[in-house]
Amino acid sequence: MTRVLLFIDDDIDVRDAFGDLLEYSGWTVVHAADGLAALEWLAKNEPPAAILLDLKMPRCDGYEFRARQLADPRWRDVPTVVFTADANADGSEPPILSGAPLLRKSAPFAELRALLEHVVTAVGG
């Protein structure tokens, strides 16, 4: 069974680098440059197994995306990992990020892979 990961980040280099590593690890990665592009993709496709979400993006940032995700019963329960380079993000983010573990982009890739596996397994994926 193919597991789809929706990777939302405005930095194409980050998406390409981590996307390649995630695909090598068995994920099918769908890229979105911001929250609006991700919402458009979600509206046309089955929910992914997980979402990897950057916070700071143009048009629709991670906070706005997460608010819309939680408001929609089709996507509310999709496991989401906040993946950020924001030095000020410390895990005590606004309540809208509740339930979404936070991982810094500087973390080792093995930590990202393990966290994604954990959140998907926790919901029975």
- Report pLDDT digits (tens) over 58-116: 999 998 999 999 999 999 999 999 988 865 665 555 666 777 888 888 889 999 999 99
Comparing CA positions, the residue from 67, 81, 12, 17 lying closest to residue 39 is 67
| pTM of the full structure | 0.91
First to last CA, the chain: 10
122 pLDDT higher than 90: no
pLDDT of res. 74: 93
Neighbours of 38 (CB within 10 A): 27
Q: What is the mean pLDDT of the chain?
A: 88
Q: Write the DSSP symbol of residue 96.
A: G
Q: What is the residue whose two structure tokens read 């999709």?
A: 78
